[in-house]
Amino acid sequence: MITERPTLIIEGGRIVDGLGAPPQTGDVVIAGERIVGVGQAATTECHAVDRIDATGMTVMPGLIDAHCHISFDEPSSNDELFFHRREGLAAIIAARNLQKVYRAGVTGILDPDSLYETSIDLRDAVEAGIVHGPRMAVGGNALLTSVGGTAGRLLPDEGRRGYGKVVRGPEEIVAEVRRQIKNGVDWIKVHVTGLTPRQQVTGELQVWNFDELRLVSDTAHELDTPVVGHCRGATSIRDTARAGFDLILHATYMDEEALEAVVEARSPIVPTFTFQANLADHGGAVNSSPGLRDIFKREIEDSAAMLKRAFAEGVPLLCGTESGFSLTPYGDWHYRELEIFVRDLDFTPLEAIRAGTSACARALRLDGETGAVEAGRLADLVIVDGDPSEDVTVLADQSRIREVMVGGRRMPLGPIEPERGDPPGWRVSTHSDRILDYDFVQGRSGPDRT
């Protein structure tokens, strides 16, 4: 049962609207789940019951993370993700992890693919008021051809494992898309590129052909469901855009032809640089391999210019972080894509905020409905002690996040109880972090053989 809530007025805050307008000081009036007034005169006509004093603070739309894997629980490897997760526990732990996500000022996430499709149930539980969480739009299993995806041979030749489902040919593609839509997904996710053991080229290979991409896209669209593709590499981006995909994740290594295709289709892109940037900037501290750090650093450097051109030509760029891995734990890095947009794509802070809020509303299938401080929109808001329109990194400090609201409901903040541990068998366990060669024991260590 939804109880009637009093009108709420957030008074005297610095309003950053999420649409790119310069900040203005004023009030925000909320009735039920929506914003009903914004600005200087907003309060004059209503009899407020609840008031929040936001003087000196910023009122802005909550962040929307357009690429967050809520069911993964921070694995440090694909092995852990595919072989150490259990369906029931994955769902229970995801419900807990959602508490971290909204405490970071995130009021919406797109979870494009989930372990055992548990995010469908989690979304429904949030919407029914069973657990606190941000708004969620979810995919089911990612569709993979029998070539696999980025997890290579860990994926089976057929059937499903973890977050992935192998589809062999047109019949299975159509059947799987329809099955997922029947079960309630918001998006169909496709791993358009992947890795093979003996490839001569660096980077990922396109593992779907154009006709297959078109078939996924047409089948989903016939059932009013959008399609999102994971694409690294020029031809995959070109074909995905031409096949009518509604969102492209990564879109790195575009060439002129791929750029032309995304500009023509106005295909929204979620570059998702946070994972790479965390690895490049902080990977040393967690013993990531220097080779890997280098590859990811270059991926940002090599792709920034093309993404800037795409944006200049009218292609929407959305913020997503790939939160859910050991390098991108929940609650800590959702703000960081905004920082990278400023640092590497030359966005102003206001442009970055727009990319992480109103532009991302389409990832929730709520374009025009959320992501902005504007009368008529859903009251998905945060109040921040600081001015993100000057420096987006103030959003990194959770002690500055004073209020989080989803649909006008004030979310509980503060510590998450109880303190958690890991269930048995949940993490990859290792006997050692190097090979115990004799020379090493004798102090005559050569290069580490691991």
Task: Provide, rounded to whole angstroms, the least separation between the CB of residue 322 and Zn ion.
Answer: 5
Give the CA angle between residues 301, 303, 308 to the nearest 5°.
105
Choice between 191 and 362, CB closer to Zn ion: 191
3-state secondary structure (DSSP) of residue 232: strand
User: Which run of H or E residues covers position 143?
Assistant: strand 142-144
Choice between 322 and 337, CB closer to Zn ion: 322
Choice between 14 and 189, CB closer to Zn ion: 189
Check: CB of residue 140 under 8 Å from CB of residue 120.
yes
Distances (CA, A) of 423 to 326, 402, 429: 17, 32, 13
Task: Provide, rounded to whole angstroms, the least separation between the CB of residue 69 and Zn ion.
Answer: 6
Check: CB of residue 114 under 8 Å from CB of residue 69.
yes
User: Which run of H or E residues covers position 250?
Assistant: strand 247-252
* Shortest-Cβ-distance residue relative to Zn ion: 322
Choice between 228 and 383, CB closer to Zn ion: 228
Binding residues vs Zn ion (CB under 5 A)? 322
Task: Provide, rounded to whole angstroms, the least separation between the CB of residue 149 and Zn ion.
Answer: 10
CA distance 213 to 261: 15
Tokens of 425: 């068998």
- Residue 328 DSSP class: B
User: Which run of H or E residues covers position 98?
Assistant: helix 87-103
Check: CB of residue 391 under 8 Å from CB of residue 384.
no
Choice between 280 and 405, CB closer to Zn ion: 280
Task: Provide, rounded to whole angstroms, the least separation between the CB of residue 113 and Zn ion.
Answer: 7
Choice between 111 and 374, CB closer to Zn ion: 111
Task: Provide, rounded to whole angstroms, the least separation between the CB of residue 329 and Zn ion.
Answer: 15
Task: Provide, rounded to whole angstroms, the least separation between the CB of residue 68 and Zn ion.
Answer: 8
